[in-house]
């Protein structure tokens, strides 16, 4: 394969990755707490080594899928009326205790397990500001959650839902649709802002994502046609340059 086809193929591979990310965003447009992903491309420069660049020569730039990052803009707050649903209206993440260890999430669809533990939709315990599960007694019936995360009942204060912020948000690694593994340490948010009876919707903008998908699909098709045309051109050149084989 020649240089032109190699460069186009590098872009083709990167474009396929971009379409996969957009498709994932659309699939999670209705997932509470989901943050839209975006792909960051960069140039990978191929330079001649062991000598000076010849007259008329230049660096060859291939397309490189450098990284995937998440849009941190907050989603729309939707009121549910469920006393255990909690939305983060400011900065930070909830912490839930999964079988693989503590994970961060903005998905506040919580409920009460038969054991009295407040948990997420997967049954993972929601941790308080001390890193421990929040446990309700059978007599705790009228539950209120204050703006700072303090959980109380008619019997008094029970605990405070922990809200933390990773020291390096760029090191968050997604695990599923709403869970994140923090590759850095976390610190408590000084003044958490929560709202009871509500959840944060996904921040995906479906119309924008569909527009991106259409544009990305067109670019993918153009690159595919270019690679095929270049292959046909090379084959035609070979057919013209090589003498016909005698029978």
Where along the chain do its domains lie?
A: 3-69+204-241, 77-200
Say if residue 95's pLDDT is above 50.
yes
Task: Tell me the whole-structure pTM to 2 decimals.
Answer: 0.73
DSSP E strand stretches across the chain: 37-46, 60-70, 77-79, 86-88, 93-98, 101-105, 111-112, 118-119, 125-126, 144-145, 150-153, 156-160, 163-166, 172-175, 179-182, 186-188, 194-196, 198-200
Span 129-171, pLDDT tens digits: 999 999 999 999 899 999 999 999 999 999 999 999 999 887 8
Tell me which of 236 and 158 has the higher pLDDT: 158
Span 106-128, pLDDT tens digits: 999 999 999 999 999 999 999 99
pLDDT confidence band for 14 (50 / 70 / 90)? confident
Say if residue 209's pLDDT is above 60.
yes
- Distance (Å) of CA 156 to CA 139, 145, 148: 11, 12, 16
- Residue pair 190/109 in contact (Cβ under 8 Å)? The answer is no
pLDDT confidence band for 225 (50 / 70 / 90)? confident
The confidence score (pLDDT) of residue 139 equals 92
Pairing of β 93-98 and β 163-166: antiparallel
Say if residue 220's pLDDT is above 90.
no
- Hey, what are 82's tokens? 């469920």
Range from 58-67, 116-125, 161-170, 231-240 carrying the lowest mean pLDDT: 58-67
Percent of the chain with pLDDT over 90: 48
């Amino acid at each position: 394969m020649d240089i032109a086809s190699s460069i186009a193929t590098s872009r083709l591979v990167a474009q396929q990755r971009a379409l996969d990310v957009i498709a994932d965003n659309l699939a999670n447009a209705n997932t509470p707490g989901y943050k839209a992903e975006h792909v960051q491309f960069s140039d990978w420069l191929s330079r001649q080594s062991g000598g000076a660049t010849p007259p008329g020569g230049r660096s060859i730039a291939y397309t490189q899928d450098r990284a995937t990052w998440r849009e941190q803009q907050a989603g729309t707050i939707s009121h549910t009326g469920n006393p255990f649903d909690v939305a983060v209206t400011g900065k930070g993440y909830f912490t839930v205790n999964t079988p693989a260890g503590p994970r961060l999430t903005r998905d506040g669809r919580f409920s009460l397990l038969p054991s009295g533990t407040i948990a997420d939709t997967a049954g993972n315990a929601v941790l308080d500001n001390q890193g421990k599960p929040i446990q309700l007694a059978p007599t705790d019936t009228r539950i209120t959650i204050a703006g700072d995360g303090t959980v109380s009942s008619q019997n008094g204060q029970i605990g405070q839902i922990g809200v933390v912020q990773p020291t390096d948000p760029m090191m968050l690694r997604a695990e599923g649709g709403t869970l994140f593994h923090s590759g850095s340490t976390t610190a408590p948010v000084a003044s958490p802002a929560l709202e009871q009876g509500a959840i944060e919707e996904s921040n995906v903008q479906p119309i924008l994502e569909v527009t991106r998908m259409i544009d990305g699909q067109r670019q993918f098709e153009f690159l595919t046609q270019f690679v095929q045309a270049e292959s046909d051109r090379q084959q035609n050149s070979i057919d013209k340059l090589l003498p016909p084989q005698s029978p």
